[in-house]
């Protein structure tokens, strides 16, 4: 799941959406492309609550900058995968701790 999210979200939000914004607003400054794609990416994570929207929005800025500097989605995809994959273990450890506390 982490791999498919990393690949698909980066292709859609950094790859396709950046070009779409430029097609809709020809000659738009790059910061506008970054802001629009970041806001849309953050909103797509509304199921994670306000903190999730803000966190993913900040990561979206980082990923967009990586994309613009490297002219490639590979590094953004890799980092996205690592973050999503490691979050699974963090959540698992938290669930284990919560279970232990409930038993006691």
Structural domain boundaries of the chain?
2-103
Read off the tokens for 38.
Answer: 């970041």
54 to 10, 60, 61, 85, 93: CA distances (angstroms): 17, 10, 11, 19, 23
pLDDT tens by residue, the chain, 104 residues: 767 888 888 899 888 998 899 899 999 999 998 999 999 999 988 988 999 899 999 999 999 999 989 999 999 999 988 888 887 777 555 555 555 555 55
3-state SS assignment for residue 27: coil
């Amino acid at each position: 799941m982490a791999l498919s999210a990393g690949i698909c979200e980066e292709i859609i939000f950094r790859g396709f959406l950046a070009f779409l914004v430029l097609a809709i607003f020809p000659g738009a400054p790059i910061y506008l492309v970054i802001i629009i794609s970041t806001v849309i990416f953050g909103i797509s994570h509304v199921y994670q609550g306000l903190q999730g929207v803000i966190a993913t929005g900040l990561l979206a800025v980082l990923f967009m900058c990586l994309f613009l500097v490297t002219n490639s989605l590979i590094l953004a995809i890799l980092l996205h995968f690592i973050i999503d994959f490691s979050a699974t273990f963090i959540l698992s450890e938290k669930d284990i701790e919560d279970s232990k506390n409930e038993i006691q």
